[in-house]
Amino acid sequence: MLPKSKRLILASGSPRRSELIQSLDISVDVIPSDTEEPLPKAGESAGKYVVRLALMKAMNVAAKYPEDSVIGADTVVVFRGRVIGKPKNEGEATRILESLRGTAHSVVTGIAVVTPHTMETSWLSTSIIMRDYLDSEIASYVESGEPFDKAGGYAVQDPEFHPAKVVEGCYLNVVGFPLCEVMTVLRRSGIAVSIKYDRITPTLCPGSCPLNLDIPNLT
Mind telling me the catalytic residues?
74
Cβ(16)–Cβ(176) under 8 Å?
yes
Cβ(95)–Cβ(161) under 8 Å?
no
Between the CA of residue 47 and those of 50, 63, 150, 196, what are the distances in Å? 5, 24, 18, 28
Closest among 164, 12, 9 to 74, alpha carbons compared:
12
- In a 13 Å sphere around the CA of 109, the CA atoms on its Cβ side amount to 25
